[in-house]
């Protein structure tokens, strides 16, 4: 299998759409949303939801370190309330 690196998500989608590549590894939500926007009638499909899991980190400048507990609390509340899943579903559905 050959491997290429592309410069943008849009370039990768064009390569897929034009049958220049068979598989593209990219973040699911941005890729799904971009495919729907750029090629709404595309036959490009995800192979797997759980191909890889990458941890997400939020960084703050030292001068804003006092905000870290508030941000952590807000993110945990977003997950526990189910709001995060609603946001993701909305993005994936194109609403």
pLDDT tens across the length of the chain (95 residues) = 577 888 888 888 888 888 888 888 776 667 778 888 888 888 887 776 666 556 666 778 899 999 999 988 998 998 899 988 887 777 666 55
Alpha carbon distance 49, 26 (integer Å): 12
> Which residues touch 23 (CB under 8 Å, ≥6 apart)?
47
pLDDT number for residue 41: 87
Q: Would you report the helix, strand and coil content of the chain in percent, each value rounded to 5?
A: 55, 0, 45
H and E: helices and strands count for the chain: 4, 0
- Domain range list for the chain: 1-52, 55-95
């Amino acid at each position: 299998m050959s491997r290429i690196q592309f410069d943008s998500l849009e370039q990768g989608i064009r390569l897929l759409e034009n049958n220049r590549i068979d598989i593209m590894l990219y973040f699911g939500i941005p890729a799904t949303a971009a495919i729907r926007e750029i090629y709404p009638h595309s036959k490009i499909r995800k192979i797997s939801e759980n191909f890889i899991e990458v941890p997400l980190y939020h960084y703050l400048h030292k001068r804003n370190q006092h905000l870290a507990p508030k941000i952590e609390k807000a993110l945990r509340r977003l997950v526990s309330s189910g709001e995060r899943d609603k946001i993701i579903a909305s993005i994936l559905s194109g609403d």
